[in-house]
Amino acid sequence: MNRGAIAAVLGALVALAACGTPEETRAPEAPAAQAARPKRGDETGDPVRRLKFLAGPSAVEAAALVATNNPAHIDAVAAFFIDPQKPYPERLAALAALRTLRSQDPEEYARVFPRVRAKLWEEVSHGSGLSMSRDNERGFIEAIGWLSDEKDPEARFKMEFHLDRETARRKRLPDPVLCAAALGLASYPGSDSARETLWAALKDPREAGAVRACCLKSLRAFHPKELETLVVQLPCPADDDWLRDLQRRLR
């Protein structure tokens, strides 16, 4: 998976975080509250279509199957994703297709989650290795996004761990992965530890600007009314151009 594909995944996540007044501090959007399209049942040829899809090594049709909002088709794509015999990049394509249920049909998104949860955690576990391939990054971003959407408590601990300042210094994950973790923590607005982790990363002048920007967006979930005031009041080190420019824009 090339850098452009990773950037596209991150871009989609940041687009979900595109925001309020001002733009930089709008909270990440939650999954859709209701289905954008009705469920449909099988039509002539649909069972054969699923069998062909599941028999092959390619997920090229995964997005089209999910877009039908036919639960049987969605289950077929989920089966493809969790099948370890399928090529890994194709499994990730199936995962990306399933994630579109986030805006297409939140009921289906939640229904399929238990079936894929174990495999989502396999993707997140790549963050514990010595290095991550581009495909591993892509899988982590999609998986941690789904786990946080479902407010999985173990996922919160994992995101906090990777964003923790000591962990970031000792074993830093790639910026797109840390951005996904930061955005995911917005799903836990009642957590003091999530809030403190985000503030620590935002205030760290050594942290990448993209990661700090994602922390800022997520902090809106914890401070719905006073976020700008709190940011402007932060002490700004002389060499922290990112924070200085942000405070100037928010004043």
Q: Amino acid identity of 216?
A: L
In the 8-state DSSP scheme, what is residue 161? H
Determine what percent of the chain is predicted with pLDDT higher than 90.
Answer: 80
pTM: predicted TM-score of the whole model, two decimal places = 0.86
Q: Which residues contact 218 (CB under 8 A, 6 or more apart)?
A: 17, 27, 28, 182, 183, 184, 185, 186, 198
Specify the pLDDT at position 120: 98
The enclosing H or E element of 239 equals none
Task: Provide mean pLDDT across the span 122-136.
Answer: 88
In the 8-state DSSP scheme, what is residue 234? S
Domain boundaries, the chain: 1-30+151-251
> For residue range 64-99, what is the model confidence (pLDDT) as tens digits?
999 999 999 999 999 999 999 999 999 999 999 999
In the 8-state DSSP scheme, what is residue 84? T
> For residue range 5-52, what is the model confidence (pLDDT) as tens digits?
444 444 444 444 443 446 678 888 888 888 888 899 999 999 999 999
Confidence check: pLDDT of 59 > 70 = yes
Which residue blocks in 62-191 are alpha helix, DSSP H?
A: 62-67, 71-82, 88-99, 101-104, 106-125, 134-149, 153-163, 165-170, 175-184
